[in-house]
């Protein structure tokens, strides 16, 4: 027999209003997106990098003064080349793994479980940091623009986090729709400013006059060294975080998936590359040196650049606002990709299975909520100012790129076929380039905190192995392929707990009497106390049972000198189970159900405690039958 | 059949170490106390009053300068007379209500429910304030002696609270033993100091020379008025709080209870009266004027008095230390009496019944814990400095005295007999005196916060009536005196929820098949998905059942387009109950039991949610049979 159920969604519940009505699985296709929405969903982090990547690289060049600007073009070129390598590599991954192929999948399938978990753990940690740092950077920029908001930094961070969480829980399509405007506004502003700036620079023979002059830089205080340039490169590489996101989210695109995902990735990378190149060129042309982020006269590089190119008019302020907004929203990439990575890992049994269930809006709600909790903990722990977390990230992202590329090398080697050799070479190049970058980033940032990541990643991997081991043990223990042993069993012994004669308990006893002829009614009291129920036992229970020729329940009075009620019942049931090794025992627990939660304060929680203790402390042969009585009048 | 249970207390649990092993009810007598322990348990608050009562009265006389000292003797005399009246009244109450007769009992039995609740609510609120103010005053005195502790005020308050709570939970006898030393040390110090002081004063013809001169008082800045004197009297009356405690705790004394309780009360009142009289006399003789508590040169009256009488030697410091300790511990009276008042009110059904249960150490643990929570909330809310709460209390205590006296008047009137007339007159006098005092205290402190008490008392009374109404409704609905209707019932329909074929679910199905021939196995899945269990249903379940000639369960496949699992099952069960109005339904829920709590994170909490929702949302005819499977290998 097959029974099909029509879910009725009458009055909207609060949850329906906040998160949207549940979507049936059949609407999956309607939820799928194209590049226009894909860019805001998966690209915010990468695009936002344009705002902090060059800044991070330039900050390390401050000691060199204006002379440091000679190095920004080659440094940016290296980063852009790396970006291009990563792009070509992921283009191939998307085609090879059209149902979603982030570094976890690629590394696991081609290099083995450990490599997969390494890539997955690195990525998960990076996203968690990313979400906290993104939100905190956006709010930090806001509070430096409006210092009166400064005391509310943490509250503003948490509100942003809540909004991001709710929007993401509402599903992919809505997220894309909501974040489209800020994304494209940012791209438009940056594009216009860069085009104007480059035109001016070329028009003036490479030496444009700034509309608003950037502050004069101090004289060079240090000399250039390879180590300084490597550190600057390592910092600039934060621009690469978030590039991975599209590859895990291929499944969210509509058909032709591969084409749409590739196009989205291409646009994101192209926009990011152009912005990085343009910024590097203009910074050099206008002679803009980064200012000390801890100094009083701090001004961000993009703010100086915009001032120099277009002056402090409305366009400046719109652009700055769009940058702030984008920084805050850049945390969204973590929200889009973290749950997907968790899902892939959970499907292989290395994270709790709940991560693999799609929630009411067809997104992986559990992952979104867990990320929100981790982010909230980080934000609260650091009071909303997460500067100290910045050196921790990028390691994870670039490490996962390396694993992914290496995995693809193995993939092509195994796969063979036309073009495999060329593709393998591209990925090998990528693996080497990103591998070297990982080493540089770890070395350059080790003492500033990258070591924390190096501790966190193995810990998370160990946890994942632990989870998997536990699941395997459970599966081994409970999995069977044998049919029901349908031998005749003797009826169970029913233990009915009754402290007084009420409708609640009477109903429970009636139910028990249908189920088995073997019924013990247990009554617990302090010693030597007269009790109305026990005293009238014959009248209340025995005689009616005799009259109806029903089996007669047995009254068991337990005296409890310590006034405990639950413990004696648990001990009695355990004793009964030991005395009857071939029988099952059902503990019948009548329970008064209150309508409102605060009425529960008026009752001892004895039934709940008894249920829990019986289930936890007794053997498999002892089960609990909970018989409710709903109050009608109250 | 009667089954007697021996509780085995093998290895001590953490709870046993902290709170002591459970005491059997039969040890009640061993837990009972005599006056030696009764004084520290019930008298700390009253005795501590000597430290702040005169101080409070004198503070209001500051504007009068030295001239104000003329009024301290008559004011103290009034308070001592009131104390004597209260004493004689409670002496009688103890005899009339030997099982405990606080103002709640006396007022309720003689004047009716409302009067009783009025007295009870007033007393409960007073005790809650008392506990917070007592702890905070002691710690405040400590931190002014050792200013480096000042930043830890709240932490110290909460630690004191924790100690008081644990000590009280350990039972009456231990509490008495622990608090005896500080109590008698305080009494000894005060006694010695007062005797020396009075001897010196008499020896010098009423004008003794202070060893350490008290600071010179400012010139009189105000003129005396009746209003000022009334306010001073009202403040001095805080000395009366805590006198009630013995009358509620008569049951804690050993036989002859009445005699022991009366003696305890007598000693407490006599000691307090003597101290109040001695302090008033010496303050006048040495010309000690209170200092501004908010000023820089603040010094407590007792500190000045001790300095003047014995100088600043070791005795001074020991005495001051004993006063600080006593102030902190004075909160213990609240811990001794609040739970007892709650118990009496709960026994009448006006507070949750749990307040009437004696805990493992034969004290009313629930009341102790609730008082600890309220006190903690007050301390945290006011940051450990509860000065603003001081005007709020005393109203409740004196109001409850009035109710008690008035109740006793009615008692004697009804009782009659020899001496009734004389007793009635004593109580009438007491009722009038305390009644007038209540009015004075309310009027004098109204704007400073006494109005809060006047709002809180009616609110608490309303809550108590609400609780009672709810209990009455429940009792009316569930109470029965009719025997079991032992007609034959048809067997229930069993709904077994099975998502996959495991040992856990197989066991549950086996149990179900013994209980009823009518079994539905429910399987929920998204639409059109093949499922190993459903596909092999015939092999796993149907064929073995046929072979053994057992009833054949019916497989119900529910398709859930929204991916919910719990909701469709609840809806199916509700539908089944509606379709079978004369049948009972048992929902069988197999559940995997993990050994350690953190393993639960690895599973969806579906079983728990399903149980709860079935019990809450379905009818009385639907019960839940929870069949556990304990993991062996994990």
**Range ranked top by mean pLDDT from A358-367, A520-529, A624-633:** A624-633
Of A359-368, A492-501, B526-535, B553-562, least confident by mean pLDDT is B526-535
Predicted pLDDT of residue B265:
94
Selection from B192, B142, B185 nearest residue B306 by Cα: B192
By C-alpha distance, which of B131, B60, B626 is closest to B374?
A: B131
- φ/ψ (deg, to 5) at A551: -60, 145
Answer yes or no: is pLDDT of B8 > 60. Answer: no
pLDDT of residue A143: 81
Q: What does pLDDT average to over chain B?
A: 88
Quick check: A563 and B364 in contact, CB under 8 A? no
In tens, the pLDDT along B122-158 reads: 999 999 998 998 888 888 878 877 778 888 889 999 9
What ipTM, to 2 d.p.? 0.86
How far apart, in whole angstroms, are the C-alpha atoms of residue A306 and residue B91?
Answer: 88
Computed over its alpha carbons, how large is the radius of gyration of chain B? 33
| CB–CB contact B562 A358 (8 Å) | no
CA distances from A324 to A51, A183, A186, A279, B146 (A): 9, 11, 9, 17, 50
CA A408 to CA A92: how far, in whole Å?
A: 8
Q: Which helix (H) or strand (E) holds A108?
A: helix A103-111
For β-strands A622-630 and B622-630, DSSP reports them as antiparallel
Alpha-carbon distance of A30 to A33, in angstroms, equals 8
How does DSSP classify residue B249? T
Task: Look at residue A528 in the predicted model and tell me its pLDDT.
Answer: 67
Question: Tens digit of pLDDT for each residue in B300-346?
Answer: 888 889 999 998 889 999 998 998 889 888 888 899 889 999 999 99
All residues of chain A having their beta carbon less than 8 Å from the beta carbon of residue B571 are 5, 7
Mutation target among B1, B3, B20 for the A interface, most CBs of A within 10 A? B3
Would you state the pLDDT for residue B423? 86
A506, A602, A620 member nearest B507 (Cβ): A620
A542 vs B contacts (CB less than 8 Å): none
- Helix A606-617 vs helix A566-579: crossing angle, to nearest 10: 30
Task: Give the number of C-alpha atoms closer than 13 A to the C-alpha of residue B518, restricted to the C-beta side.
Answer: 12
Query: Residue B417: what pLDDT?
Result: 81
Chain B: residue nearest A630 by CA? Answer: B620
Closest CA to A452 of A19, A128, A179: A128
Interface test with A, best of B10, B16, B484, B542 (most A CBs within 10 A): B484
pLDDT, tens digit, for every residue of A267-326?
999 999 999 999 999 999 998 888 887 777 778 888 889 999 998 889 999 998 998 889
| Integer Rg of chain A from CA | 33
Cβ within 8 Å of residue B79, ≥6 positions away: B53, B57, B233, B236, B237, B239, B240, B276
Give per-residue pLDDT as tens, A56-108: 888 888 888 888 888 999 999 999 999 998 898 888 888 888 887 788 999 99
Buried b (16+ CB within 10 A) or exposed e, B212-225: eebeebeeeeeebe
Q: Which residues of A337-347 are buried (b: 16+ CB within 10 A; e: fewer)?
A: bbbbbbbbbbe
Helix (H), strand (E), coil (C) string for B442-466:
HHHHHHHHHHHHHHHHHHHHHHHHH
C-beta atoms of B625 and A620 within 8 A: no
Q: Which residue has the tokens 């990982």?
A: A438
The predicted structure's pLDDT at residue A3: 55
Contact between B357 and A559 using a beta-carbon 8 Å cutoff: no
- Pairwise CA distance, residues B399 & B435, whole Å: 7
What is the Cα–Cα distance from B343 to A170, expressed in whole angstroms?
51
Closest-CA residue to A589 (of A549, A548, A618, A547): A618
What pLDDT digit, counting tens, does each position of B444-481 carry? 888 888 888 889 999 999 999 999 999 999 999 999 99
| Length of chain A (residues) | 634
Residue B241 pLDDT: 82
Give the tokens for residue B468: 């009672």
Q: Where are the alpha helices (DSSP H) in B479-542?
A: 503-515, 532-535, 537
Beta bridge partners, A586, equal A494, A623
Note the maximum CA span of chain B.
113
SS3 at position A557:
strand
Structure-block tokens of residue B436? 């007038």
Q: Do A632 and B591 touch (CB under 8 A)?
A: no
Q: What is the 3-state secondary structure (H, E, C) of B23-90?
A: CCHHHHHHHCECHHHHHHHHHHHHHHHHHHHHHHHHHHCHHHHHHHHHHHHHHHHHHHHHHHHHHHHH
**Beta-carbon contacts below 8 Å between A and B:** 284
Answer whether A477 sits within 8 Å of B632, measured CB to CB: yes
b/e for A488-521, b at 16 or more Cβ within 10 A? eeeebbbbbbbeebbbbbbbbbbbbbbbbebbbb
- From first CA to last CA, the distance across chain A in angstroms is 40
> With an 8 Å Cβ cutoff, are B5 and A568 in contact?
yes
- Candidates A363, A398, A378; CA nearest to A331 is A378
Are A539 and B483 a contacting pair at CB < 8 A?
Answer: yes
B117-120 long-range CB contacts below 8 Å, 24 or more apart?
A: B117/B345, B117/B350, B117/B461, B117/B464, B117/B465, B118/B399, B118/B403, B118/B457, B118/B461, B119/B399, B119/B400, B119/B403, B119/B404, B119/B407, B120/B341, B120/B344, B120/B345, B120/B350, B120/B400, B120/B464
A511 to B623: CB separation less than 8 angstroms, yes or no: yes
| Percent of chain B at pLDDT exceeding 70 | 97
Structure-token pair, residue B164: 């008081």
Hey, are the CB atoms on B23 and A562 less than 8 Å from each other? yes
CB contact under 8 A, B473 and A3: no
Q: Which residues contact A535 (CB under 8 A, 6 or more apart)?
A: none
- At B526-564, the pLDDT tens digits run 876 788 888 899 999 999 988 888 889 999 988 888 888
- What are residue A306's phi and psi, to 5 degrees? -60, -40
> What gap in Å lies between CA B176 and CA A597, rounded to an integer?
39
Reported as type and span, the H/E element at residue B556 is strand B554-559
Secondary structure letter of residue B215 according to DSSP: P
pTM attached to this predicted model: 0.85
CB A80 within 8 A of CB A280: no
DSSP state letter for B634: -
Contact B289, B110 (CB under 8 A): no
For residue A489, what is the nearest residue in chain B, using CA coordinates? B514
Direct distance between the N- and C-terminal alpha carbons of chain B, in angstroms, rounded to an integer: 40
* pLDDT-above-90 percentage for chain B: 44
How far apart CA B205 and CA B227 sit, in angstroms, is 33
What tens digit of pLDDT does each residue of A195-254 get? Answer: 999 999 999 888 888 888 887 766 666 778 888 888 888 888 888 888 888 888 888 898
Looking up tokens 């909501």, which residue turns up?
Answer: A178
Mean pLDDT of B10-17: 71
Whether B187 shows a pLDDT value over 80: the answer reads yes
| Averaged confidence pLDDT in chain A | 88
**Which residue intervals of A395-450 are DSSP H helices?**
395-415, 420-445
The distance of B275 to chain A (nearest Cα, Å) reads 43
Contact call for residues B504 and B592 (beta carbons, < 8 A): yes
How does residue A6 score in pLDDT terms, banded at 50, 70 and 90? low
Q: How would you write B598-611 as a 3-class SS string?
A: HHHHHCCCHHHHHH
Contacts of A567 in chain B (CB under 8 A): 7
- Residue B605 has, within 13 A of its CA and on its CB side, a CA count of 10
Residue A349, classed as helix, strand or coil, is coil
The SS3 of residue A170 is coil
| Per-state percent for chain B, helix, strand, coil, to nearest 5 | 70, 5, 25
Q: Which residues of B touch A620 (CB under 8 A)?
A: 507, 628-630
């Amino acid at each position: 027999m097959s029974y099909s159920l029509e879910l009725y969604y009458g009055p909207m519940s609060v949850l329906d209003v906040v998160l949207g009505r549940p979507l049936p699985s059949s609407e999956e296709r309607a939820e799928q997106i194209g590049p226009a929405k894909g860019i805001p969903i998966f690209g915010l982090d990468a695009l936002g990098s344009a705002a902090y990547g060059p800044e991070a690289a330039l900050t390390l060049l401050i000691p060199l003064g204006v002379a440091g600007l000679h190095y920004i073009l080659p440094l940016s070129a290296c980063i852009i080349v790396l970006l291009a390598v990563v792009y070509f590599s992921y283009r191939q991954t998307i085609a090879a793994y059209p149902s979603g192929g982030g570094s976890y999948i690629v590394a696991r399938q081609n290099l083995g479980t450990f490599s997969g978990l390494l890539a997955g753990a690195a990525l998960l940690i990076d996203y968690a940091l990313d979400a906290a740092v993104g939100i905190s950077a956006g709010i930090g920029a806001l509070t430096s623009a409006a210092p009166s908001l400064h005391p509310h930094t943490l509250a503003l961070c948490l509100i942003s986090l809540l909004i991001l969480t709710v929007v993401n829980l509402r599903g992919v399509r809505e997220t894309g729709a909501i974040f489209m405007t800020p994304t494209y506004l940012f791209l438009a502003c940056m594009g216009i400013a860069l085009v104007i700036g480059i035109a001016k620079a070329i028009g003036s023979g490479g030496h444009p006059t700034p509309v608003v002059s950037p502050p004069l830089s101090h004289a060079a205080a240090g000399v250039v060294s390879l180590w300084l340039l490597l550190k600057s490169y390592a910092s600039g590489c934060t621009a690469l975080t978030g590039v991975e996101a599209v590859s895990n989210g291929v499944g969210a695109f509509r058909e032709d998936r591969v084409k749409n995902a590739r196009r989205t990735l291409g646009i994101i990378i192209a926009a990011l590359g152009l912005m990085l190149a343009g910024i590097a060129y203009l910074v050099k042309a206008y002679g803009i040196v980064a200012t000390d982020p801890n100094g009083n006269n701090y001004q961000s590089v993009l703010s100086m650049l915009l001032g120099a190119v277009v002056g402090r008019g409305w366009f400046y302020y719109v652009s700055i606002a769009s940058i702030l907004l984008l920084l805050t929203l850049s945390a969204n990439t973590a929200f889009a990709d973290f749950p997907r990575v968790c899902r892939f890992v959970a499907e292989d049994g290395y994270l709790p299975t709940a991560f693999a269930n799609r929630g009411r809006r067809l997104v992986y709600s559990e992952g979104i909520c867990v990320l929100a909790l981790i982010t909230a903990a980080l934000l609260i722990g650091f009071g909303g100012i997460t500067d100290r977390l910045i050196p921790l990230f990028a390691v994870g992202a670039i490490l996962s790129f390396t694993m992914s590329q290496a995995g693809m090398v193995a993939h092509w080697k195994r796969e063979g076929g036309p073009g495999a050799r060329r593709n393998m070479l591209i990925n090998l190049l990528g693996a080497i380039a990103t591998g070297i970058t990982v080493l540089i980033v770890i070395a350059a940032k080790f003492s500033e905190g990258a070591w924390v990541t190096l501790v966190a990643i193995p810990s998370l991997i160990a946890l994942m192995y632990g989870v998997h081991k536990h699941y395997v043990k459970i599966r081994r223990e409970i999995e069977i392929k044998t049919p029901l042993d349908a031998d005749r069993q003797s009826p169970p012994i029913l233990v009915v707990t009754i402290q007084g004669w009420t409708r609640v308990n009477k109903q429970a006893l009636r139910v028990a009497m249908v189920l088995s002829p073997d019924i013990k009614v247990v009554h617990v009291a302090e010693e030597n106390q007269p009790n109305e129920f026990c005293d009238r036992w014959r009248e209340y229970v025995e005689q009616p049972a005799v009259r109806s020729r029903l089996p007669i329940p047995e009254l068991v009075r337990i005296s409890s000198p310590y006034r405990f009620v639950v413990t004696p019942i648990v001990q009695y049931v355990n004793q009964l189970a030991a005395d009857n090794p071939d029988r099952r025992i059902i503990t019948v627990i009548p329970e008064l159900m209150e309508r409102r939660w605060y009425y529960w304060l008026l009752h001892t929680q004895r039934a709940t405690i008894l249920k829990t203790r019986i289930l936890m402390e007794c053997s498999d042969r002892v089960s609990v039958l909970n018989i409710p009585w709903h109050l009608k009048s109250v």
